[in-house]
């Protein structure tokens, strides 16, 4: 075969490959290989390094659509400590998570590129400095266009994360599930703590306060006006007793209308769930939400412009069975499933 004939043959092969790419892919995602959880058929679930959902681990957020990132902090805790161990335990329990959501049809690992990027570096001995470290770390992660799912850590971490989110997306709507409003001025004269992140975030303009909903608030308080500050900012408050004995799907229809097409952040404090289901947390309050209601809330966020989220306040020393961390891992999977770009099959 002559040189000219070889060149013509090569051109035909390239043309055929391009045609196949257009036929079978039809988008810029041609030949893109997505990360997926390691199957239990490939490696026993107790084996291997404990990454989130047994996904690959990488040092940066390059080429990722969403990343899991640990924030092992408990210096802002007011009661039981131990949330610094939360990310590690949640990763360990997440080994049971598989590829698809059989209830909703969500197929995140066939749709978007996801990996575990390890833990953000911070000075755990200096809380204000740690907050600056967290903000800088998330700013860097988001600079590539990657969205983040933070694995906490106490709820202090959400304030610096929202600072980074504001720089990227502007003020965001907030779906906040919690037993506590976390809008305190301070504790023992210290303004930075896990009871104050949303007061700081609102004051600094990180939140679009007319698009903030807090679900599951309950417990004893310091004054009957405890929730008034948030209401004055425009927050919608849904106390836990308003959720008893009912589906929260109708509530989430209202929330979707409230959030419209603006950017939305999800912050889930595990103590929003009743301690009968999630005892491993620092500030448990009785008569909370059920895991079923938690799924209704998160699945109800499908279709929103989710730009980030977190799951916080898992304290392994108080989680003797591991069930709190297991629940947290599943909630993080559900949050991943509602990110923009995730494909759904008919179920």
* Binding positions for Mn(2+): 155, 178, 180, 182, 269, 271
Task: Please give the DSSP secondary-structure letter assigned to residue 281.
Answer: B
Residue numbers in the known binding site are 155, 178, 180, 182, 269, 271
- Is the peptide bond prior to 153 cis by the omega test (within 30 degrees of 0)? yes
163 within 8 A of 156, measured Cβ to Cβ: no
Identify the CA nearest to 76 among candidates 190, 199, 206.
190
Q: What's the distance, Cα to Cα, between the start and end of the chain in Å?
A: 54
**149 forms bridges with which residues in the sheet?**
68, 309
Separation of alpha carbons 84 and 72, rounded Å: 4
Task: Please give the DSSP secondary-structure letter assigned to residue 317.
Answer: G
Burial class (CB in 10 A: 0-12, 13-18, 19+), 242: middle
**344 forms bridges with which residues in the sheet?**
106
How is 35-97 classified by DSSP, letter by letter? P-PPPTTTS-TT-S---GGG--B-SS-TT-SEEEEEE---TT-SS---GGGHHHHHHHHGGG-
Task: Tell me the three-class secondary structure of 206-248, residue by residue.
Answer: CEEEEEEEEEEECCCCCCCCCCHHHHHHCCEEEEHHHCCCCCC
Backbone angles phi, psi at 335, to 5 degrees: -65, -40
Cα–Cα distance list, 86 to 31, 63, 89, 124, 178 (Å): 36, 27, 5, 14, 17
């Amino acid at each position: 075969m002559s040189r000219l004939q070889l060149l013509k043959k090569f051109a035909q092969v390239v043309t055929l490959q391009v045609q196949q790419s257009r036929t079978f892919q039809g988008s810029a995602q041609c030949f893109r290989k997505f990360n997926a959880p390691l199957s239990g058929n490939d490696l026993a679930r107790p084996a291997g390094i404990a990454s989130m959902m047994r996904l690959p681990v990488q040092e940066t957020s390059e080429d990722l659509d969403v990343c899991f990132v640990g924030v092992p902090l408990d210096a802002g805790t007011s009661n039981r400590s131990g949330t610094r161990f939360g990310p590690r335990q949640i990763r360990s329990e997440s080994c049971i998570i598989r590829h698809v959501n059989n209830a909703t049809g969500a197929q995140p690992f066939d749709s978007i590129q996801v990996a575990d990027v390890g833990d953000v570096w911070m000075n755990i001995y200096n809380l204000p400095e740690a907050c600056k470290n967290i903000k800088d770390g998330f700013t860097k992660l988001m600079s590539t266009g990657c969205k983040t799912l933070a694995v906490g850590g106490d709820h202090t971490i959400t304030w610096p994360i929202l600072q980074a989110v504001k720089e990227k997306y502007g003020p965001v709507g907030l779906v906040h599930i919690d037993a506590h409003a976390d809008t305190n001025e301070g504790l023992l004269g210290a303004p930075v703590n896990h009871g104050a992140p949303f007061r700081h975030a609102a004051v600094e303009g990180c939140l679009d306060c007319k698009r903030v909903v807090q679900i599951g608030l309950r417990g004893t308080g310091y004054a009957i006006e405890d929730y008034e500050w948030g209401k004055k900012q425009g927050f919608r408050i849904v106390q836990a007793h308003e959720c008893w004995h009912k589906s929260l799907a109708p509530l989430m229809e209202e929330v979707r209308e409230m959030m419209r097409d603006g950017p939305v952040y999800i912050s889930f404090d595990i103590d929003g769930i009743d301690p009968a289901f999630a005892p491993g947390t620092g500030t448990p309050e009785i008569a909370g939400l059920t895991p079923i209601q938690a799924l209704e809330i998160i699945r109800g966020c499908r279709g929103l412009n989710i730009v980030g989220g977190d799951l916080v306040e898992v304290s392994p020393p108080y989680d003797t069975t591991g069930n709190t961390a297991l629940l947290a891992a599943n909630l993080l999977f559900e949050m991943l499933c509602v990110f923009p770009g995730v494909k759904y099959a008919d179920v």
